[in-house]
Amino acid sequence: MVKKRKKHRTMGKKLFIFLGIAILAVFSILNIPFLEKMIYPYPNRAIIEKYAEQYGVDPLLVVAVIREESKFFSQSESPKGAKGLMQLMPGTAQSIAESLGDKTFNEEDLLNPEKNIQYGTWYLASLQRAFANNTMLVTAAYNGGRGHVQEWINNGQLDRNNIRLQDIPFKETRDYVGRVMKSYAQYKKLYRK
């Protein structure tokens, strides 16, 4: 009897998941923005837009980065030690704090959405300046490091004028850039005024 109930529960879960996916697929095909906005939400919008405007970054790129970095979980921490919504490394954040003249910064501030978004957006802006506003290079540098991207350009692995996703040498960075670019396109479609 117990096995039968367990089997029914498992089948019920699978059916529920299947129906959920089917419903999302239908709404996506019918281009119903409400459900798409559930898949691509825009939490912390006021904070994102505040710092995006202050530092000259597209807020929709910021939210796409947050979606792929932390899935909007402000307390997230990677195995490598990156923290918060935009998954900043403490050393990077300390350097940003010094650049901003923030003498009160401590590592726990990275779990504060406002501070994390401020610092992450500032960092995206600095990468935009370094890579002439090329979104693919900026995104690759955000994940793989500014130095690596510059090295790939210098040694000809990446052509600054014709960047192709498949040319990014690190698989992790290549996959990350692909996910962020897909999310960014969706955010532009759903939220661009």
Q: Kindly list the catalytic residues.
A: 69
Residue 38 CB coordination number (10 Å): 10
- For 73, residues 6+ apart whose C-beta sits below 8 A from its C-beta are 85
CA-closest candidate to residue 139, choices 116, 108, 170: 170
**DSSP secondary structure string for all residues of 118-152:** HHHHHHHHHHHHHTTT-HHHHHHHHHH-HHHHHHH
Helices then strands, each counted (H, E), the chain: 9, 0
Burial-class residue 114 by CB neighbours within 10 Å (0-12, 13-18, 19+).
middle
